[in-house]
Amino acid sequence: MDSAKYLARIDSLCTGDLTGGHSESDVLMEGPGYRIVSLEATHGTWTGDAARRVRTVEDFHALKKHITLLLDDRWGAQQPPWEMGTLVVRIDRGEAIPEPWATASTLVDELNLWQPDGTGRWIAVGVADADLGDGIHLLVLVTETDPP
């Protein structure tokens, strides 16, 4: 775990260009005014060893908690963790949810969320682990769009 590396990447997202069209290898998705970046990821699929996957998911959640504490120290106490289930229900009912929040609701169950002073951006950290056939990601989302 390299906390300094993660914080440096988050800092770059707080001030960097969000117009889209970037080619950084850690960018999972981007569009006008937002990016979703993988700070850390496992590689390959998870067939057979469910116990190993559970341990790895727990490790990623512990890493998320560690990053959350560091960001709380930096920016002040965050808002309560945001459960994404309400967004899923709203989408299912036909409500238009703006990006990147709509996509985030399909990737993570919960986000830790901040709006650092002077940036005009929202920063969110979550663990993407729902797809059993895919890797696990520690995600950071940065956007200029207010949460719905």
Angle at CA of residue 111, ends 129 and 77, nearest 5° = 140
Would you say the pTM of this structure is higher than 0.85? Answer: yes
Instruction: For 20-50, write each residue's pLDDT tens digit.
Output: 666 677 888 888 899 999 999 987 656 667 7
Encoded amino acid at 127, one letter: V
Beta bridge partners of 35: 30, 142
| Phi, psi at 117, each rounded to 5° | -55, 135
**Cα 119 to the center of its chain, rounded Å:** 18
Largest CA distance in the chain: 47
As given in the structure block, the two tokens for residue 20 are 């889209």
pLDDT at 2: 82
- B/e letters for 18-30, b = 16+ CB within 10 Å, e = fewer, are beeeeeeeeebbb
State the Cα–Cα distance between residues 84 and 107, nearest whole angstrom: 9
What's the pLDDT band for 111 if we cut at 50, 70, 90?
A: very high
From the CA atom positions of the chain, what is the Rg in Å?
Answer: 15
State the Cα–Cα distance between residues 9 and 139, nearest whole angstrom: 11
Which DSSP category does 129 fall into? -
Q: Tell me the average pLDDT across 122-140.
A: 88
pLDDT at 48: 65
State the Cα–Cα distance between residues 126 and 109, nearest whole angstrom: 8
As given in the structure block, the two tokens for residue 81 are 């963790």
pLDDT at 142: 95
Q: Tell me the average pLDDT across 55-62.
A: 92
53 against 91, higher pLDDT: 91
